[in-house]
């Protein structure tokens, strides 16, 4: 494939990319901070691990529902206003989490936070697609995806520090206060994103949702998105227990693993975006799949492992994962026409949330634990992840070929 020259971002585009990463950082941190706070929340509220698990999963499923409910209306508003609406609700839900004094209050707060926070990612995707040309989107996705690593490197340690020196409420209150700054930036600096409103709209939001869901080329993308989430949601929830009980890593060394992996991801995520813009999304995705499949098979069959070796394995595994997610997001951003970008992104985000919840449930059925905590079934989980990875590669190749054929038909060679 011919290499593409990289066009520089304008100052405003650079600002938008940074703002999108900032907002994504806040949303991801709010979702991820629940798990490490479990040891404090359960005794403080007198709840069982199962109840805590319900509070964690409530966010994902409410986010999935919100994605579907929003899809019919997502293209009927200025995307800036839509973003501000959902971001305000997200901050309010996070503040409620920080003020919750009982399990019912916390559960309700997580549901509300998911209803609003789960839609933000899809609005960000629609804004990126509106403001950046296709050959620039890989770099933008790389910057935005680095927010995941930043939440590990910066967010989680700070959140745990605040909880250790205060209460479990402190991280949520800090995220809410931190998020207010993002809201002010949206109001003051982000320009309206409303060119899609000039296009002809469908009369019924329900019809708009229906036509998005049943569009064949969108359906392939939704199926691929569900498969892509499998790896992370099947492996990551058991990563800490597997490292400690099977690989012989001390609890005190876990932060080192997350820190090293996150630092490396911050650097290579933007680089993956640049490479995918330059040499093509499909080649990068295929390379990422090869790395992921190899490392998943290796990782899930590990025995006792030195700390340094495990850090290297984690870094390479995340290199493979991000080398799939970043080019894939850039690729599917070219699928929907402008009048359906919001609805497509909303449904895609909903599929991602629900697919992740199902993947976690399936993994939990495949894995068992001894009395001493040692996990069994990880190799089987690895085989499932490999199968979904190879299937998603075939589907992504099909999507890429379909896009090329459609573009060739629209702009035939002279």
Position 68 pLDDT exceeds 50: yes
Res 80: pLDDT: 95
Res 284: pLDDT: 95
Residue owning tokens 């199968």: 387
Task: Return the percentage of the chain with pLDDT > 70, whole number.
Answer: 95
Looking at residues 93-121, what average pLDDT do you find?
93
Res 4: pLDDT: 54
Res 363: pLDDT: 81
Cα separation, 96 vs 105, in Å, equals 8
Position 288 pLDDT exceeds 90: yes
Report pLDDT digits (tens) over 305-340: 999 999 999 999 989 999 999 999 999 988 988 888
Residue 368, beta-bridge partner list: 376
Looking at residues 342-365, what average pLDDT do you find?
83
Position 369 pLDDT exceeds 90: no
Residue spans of the domains in the chain: they are 11-190+206-406
Report pLDDT digits (tens) over 186-225: 999 999 998 888 877 766 788 888 888 888 989 999 999 9
Res 413: pLDDT: 46
Res 296: pLDDT: 95
More confident residue, 130 or 38: 130
Position 136 pLDDT exceeds 70: yes
Residue 375, beta-bridge partner list: 369
Looking at residues 270-286, what average pLDDT do you find?
92
Res 1: pLDDT: 44
On average, the pLDDT of the chain sits at 86
Cα separation, 185 vs 227, in Å, equals 35
Res 414: pLDDT: 41
How far, in Å, are 20, 333, 336 from residue 344 at the CA level? 18, 9, 7
Query: Could you tell me if 153 and 28 are in contact, meaning their C-beta atoms sit under 8 angstroms apart?
Result: no
Res 146: pLDDT: 84
Contacts of 118 (CB under 8 A, 6+ apart): 59, 60, 62, 63, 64, 66, 67, 349, 350, 353
Res 340: pLDDT: 85
In CATH, the number for domain 11-190+206-406 is 1.20.1250.20
Position 72 pLDDT exceeds 60: yes
| 34-48, 117-131, 280-294, 303-317: range with lowest mean pLDDT | 34-48
Position 109 pLDDT exceeds 60: yes
Report pLDDT digits (tens) over 230-245: 877 788 767 777 888 8
Query: Could you tell me if 20 and 144 are in contact, meaning their C-beta atoms sit under 8 angstroms apart?
Result: yes
Looking at residues 66-95, what average pLDDT do you find?
91
Looking at residues 224-231, what average pLDDT do you find?
88
Query: Could you tell me if 262 and 314 are in contact, meaning their C-beta atoms sit under 8 angstroms apart?
Result: no
Position 124 pLDDT exceeds 80: yes
Residue owning tokens 């020259």: 5
Res 242: pLDDT: 84
Position 160 pLDDT exceeds 80: no
Query: Could you tell me if 253 and 307 are in contact, meaning their C-beta atoms sit under 8 angstroms apart?
Result: yes
Position 410 pLDDT exceeds 70: no
Spell out the SS3 assignment of the chain: CCCCCCCCCCHHHHHHHHHHHHHHHHHHHHHHCHHHHHHHHHHHHCCCHHHHHHHHHHHHHHHHHHHHHHHCCCCCCCHHHHHHHHHHHHHHHHHHHHHCCCHHHHHHHHHHHHHHHHHHHHHHHHHHHHHCCHHHHHHHHHHHHHHHHHHHHHHHHHHHHHHHCCCCHHHHHHHHHHHHHHHHHHHHHCCCCCHHHHCCCCCCHHHHHHHHHHCHHHHHHHHHHHHHHHHHHHHHHHHHHHHHHCCCCCHHHHHHHHHHHHHHHHHHHHHHHHHHHHHCHHHHHHHHHHHHHHHHHHHHCCCCCCHHHHHHHHHHHHHHHHHHHHHHHHHHCCCCCHHHHHHHHHHHHHHHHHHHHHHHHHHHHHCEECCCCCEECHHHHHHHHHHHHHHHHHHHHHHHHHHHHHHHHHCCCC
Position 69 pLDDT exceeds 80: yes
Task: Return the percentage of the chain with pLDDT > 90, whole number.
Answer: 42
């Amino acid at each position: 494939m011919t290499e593409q020259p990289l066009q520089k971002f304008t100052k405003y585009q650079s600002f938008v990319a940074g703002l999108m990463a900032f907002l994504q950082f806040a949303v991801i941190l709010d979702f991820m901070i629940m798990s490490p706070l479990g040891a404090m929340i359960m005794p403080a509220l007198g709840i069982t691990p199962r109840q805590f698990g319900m509070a964690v999963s409530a966010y994902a499923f409410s986010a999935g529902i919100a994605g579907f409910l929003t899809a019919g209306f997502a293209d009927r508003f200025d995307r800036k206003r839509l973003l501000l609406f959902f971001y305000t609700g997200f901050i309010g839900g996070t503040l409620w989490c920080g003020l919750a004094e009982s399990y019912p209050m916390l559960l309700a707060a997580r549901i509300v936070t998911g209803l609003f926070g789960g839609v933000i990612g899809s609005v960000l995707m629609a804004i990126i697609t509106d403001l950046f040309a296709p050959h620039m989107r890989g770099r933008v996705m790389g910057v935005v995806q680095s927010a995941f690593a930043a939440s590990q490197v910066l967010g989680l340690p700070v959140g745990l520090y605040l909880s250790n020196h205060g209460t479990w409420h402190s991280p949520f209150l800090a995220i809410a206060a931190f998020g207010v700054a993002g809201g002010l930036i949206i109001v003051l600096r982000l320009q309206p994103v409303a060119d899609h409103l000039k296009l002809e709209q469908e009369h019924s939001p329900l019809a708009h949702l229906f036509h998005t869901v049943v569009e064949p080329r969108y359906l392939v993308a939704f199926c691929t998105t569900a498969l892509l989430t499998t790896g992370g949601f099947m492996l990551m929830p058991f990563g800490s227990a597997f490292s400690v009980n099977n690989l012989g890593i001390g609890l005190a060394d876990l932060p080192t693993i997350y820190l090293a992996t996150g630092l490396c991801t911050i650097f290579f995520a933007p680089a993956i975006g640049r490479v995918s813009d330059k040499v093509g999304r499909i080649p990068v995705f295929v390379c990422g799949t090869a790395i992921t499949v190899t490392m998943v098979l290796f990782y899930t069959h590990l025995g006792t492992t030195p700390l340094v070796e495990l850090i290297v394995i984690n870094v390479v595994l995340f290199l493979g994962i991000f080398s799939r997610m970043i080019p894939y997001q850039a690729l599917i951003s070219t699928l929907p026409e402008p009048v359906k970008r919001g609805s497509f992104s909303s449904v895609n985000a909903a599929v991602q949330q629900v697919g992740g919840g199902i993947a976690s449930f399936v993994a939990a059925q495949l894995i068992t634990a001894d009395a001493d905590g040692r996990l069994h079934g990880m190799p089987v989980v690895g085989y499932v992840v490999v199968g979904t990875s190879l299937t998603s590669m075939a589907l992504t190749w099909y999507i890429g070929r379909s896009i090329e054929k459609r573009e060739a038909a629209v702009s035939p060679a002279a």
